[in-house]
Structure 1
């Protein structure tokens, strides 16, 4: 089995444990917000991301717990664009992926592009649902 998983910068910085390629992780996964990821990384890349790693939500029917091996890590950096309107907020655009061998949540920004998270590929020989 193989999954592409979004790991948000703030999730790692708050409660995450550093990990590296080849390590075994035990994570809680929830369905990825593909609309948000499409803004950051484009439709094609977002379509490959099934799950987001989660530390804070209450248990729900849509989540799963996995134990799997980290097969790949890419840092995601994006420009932040300010939305228009009364309740303006920033959202990521023009994201780029940079391969890494480890992740600790504190990857430096790349010029105008800010670090927003990791795209992680997990693999397991068997169905790791617990």
Structure 2
């Protein structure tokens, strides 16, 4: 069974380890709330996110899960103060998302016009979901 996992840009930049399709990684996965990602990538795509990767304190009591990375997509979007807002805080502007398939994730992304890098959508498979002989070969 394939999983879709959100990985924040700042978590990778702080202390994440690079990964690429084919790599087996051990991540703490927290159940994702699609509403947290709807403005960033749209409601339909946000509903596909199963988990978010966490390694900054909200993971107490969660055991790391080994997954094999299948694909990686950078997520970029525009940020700004929302119309009618009084707090002057920048939020993702709905409808401005740019998705870029990539061959590796290191927390940094090539600058794109008018949008800012936000994180990764990672498609992965639990290592226990792999056929036994493929797992033995490291696939």
TM-score range, shorter chain: 0.7 to 0.9
TM (norm. structure 1) is 0.88
Q: 1: distance between equivalents of 2:10 and 2:119?
A: 8
Aligned to 1:72: 71
Q: How many correspondences in the alignment? A: 127
- Map 1:92-107 onto structure 2 (within 5 A): 92-93=92-93, 94-107=96-109
Contact 1:73 1:102 in 2 (8 A): yes
Contact 1:77 1:109 in 2 (8 A): no
Q: Which has the larger radius of gyration?
A: 2
Give yes or no for contact 1:79–1:92 (8 Å, CA) kept in 2: yes
Q: Do 2:77 and 2:97's aligned partners in 1 also have CA atoms closer than 8 Å?
A: yes
Gaps of 5+ in 2: 131-139
More strand by share: 1
CA RMSD of aligned residues (A): 1.9
Q: What are structure 1's unaligned runs of at least 5 residues?
A: none
Deviates more, 1:65-74 or 1:90-99: 90-99
